[in-house]
Amino acid sequence: MSRVKRRLTHPFAEYLKKTRTKSHEGLTQDNQSFLSEVVRDKYVGQSFPPPEAEPLPLIRVTGSPLKGVPAKAVEWTPRTFRAGLIARNIGVYPLYNKDGRKVMTTLLQVLDNHVIKYISPEEYLQRVGGSKYKGKYPRGVLVVGADGADPRLFTKEYCSLFGPSGVLPKKALSRFLVSPGSELPPGTPLFANHFRVGDYVDVAGKTRDWGFQGVVKRFGFKGSPASHGTTKNHRRGGTIGSGRERARVMPGQKMPGHMGSEHRVHRGIQILRINTKYNVIYVRSTGIPGITNSYVRIFDTLIPTKFPKTAPPFPTYFPEDGIELEEDLYHESLHRFDMPSIDFN
């Protein structure tokens, strides 16, 4: 990190004004039923609650509106950038190795991920003004959305982003840099099987917002002595050493201020278990940035020593008809409680 702390809290260009209202005030029961029928006719093949239910559904899309679109055949290399996933941090859970040692993991649930938009490398370079990178890193951008919701709660401008993909508006949007050949058509569903057990991933999220904090909590300062004449100076930072010719506060000086709410990336985390029924990924770490129920981004690790040795599902995992996967996929070092722990010969 540089000496000057730069906060990365601004959204990217695909974000528009999202929410329109938090409730359906002024609508009768008949009006709500009519609007529910209109939404069902527009989004065919997607699950909705019954018309008499409260119009705040937990919507899940099961199929792809563009099923059958062939993907471009490109060979995978360790330097290939694939798309990532948007997941929700749902808590911490212990697993056990075969020798009895406990391993703490974090559960990341992949909720209703779909490809929303693809931005070509030429268009992306024009947006970011990266003329000096022209030709060096020809990478496009895949915009991925997660957690579909009732379209009546969003603005018209925000819902227009999801028109080409044919899916419901999403609560969370994110973009991933992808290599040529890794692009996916809009509307393609993404599952937890996009990654494999044993692979290493990077998890990015926004850290917990602690608000305005002092130097003891923010930077771990010791503080002043608790007795022997100390008066109202127990948790202060003390002198900042700006006397004589400097006569100013130096850039990057550790002082009280806002703590948390920063974008951070936890790199090189191993996947130990995948639940294919509920799309839950168990990663070997408890330091995932963000609070419980916050959104995080999962993508292939950038650490060269932890690149996968064999090709992962490229460009993503496509469920095959008639082939059922196991509900839980375990790493070979984990103990499965549905298997015997002692063998008698």
pLDDT digits (tens, 9 = 90+) for 245-289: 888 998 888 999 999 988 899 999 999 999 999 999 999 999 999
Closest CA to 191 of 86, 79, 330: 86
Amino acid 53: pLDDT = 41
Amino acid 270: pLDDT = 96
141 vs 121: CA distance, rounded Å: 7
Helix (H) or strand (E) holding 343: none
Amino acid 193: pLDDT = 93
Given a contact cutoff of 8 angstroms between Cβ atoms, the answer to whether 182 and 315 are in contact is yes
Model pTM score: 0.82
Amino acid 221: pLDDT = 93
Cα distances (Å, whole numbers) of residue 59 to 159, 167, 212: 15, 11, 37
The percentage of the chain sitting over the pLDDT mark of 90, rounded to a whole number, equals 41
For residue 258, the cross-strand partners are 212
Question: Average pLDDT for consecutive 10-residue bins of the chain (345 residues)?
Answer: 56 61 71 81 60 38 44 76 94 92 95 91 76 67 90 84 87 91 89 94 94 94 87 88 87 90 92 94 94 94 92 87 81 89 74
Residue-level length of the chain: 345
Pairing of strands 200-206, 257-260: unpaired
263 vs 160: CA distance, rounded Å: 27
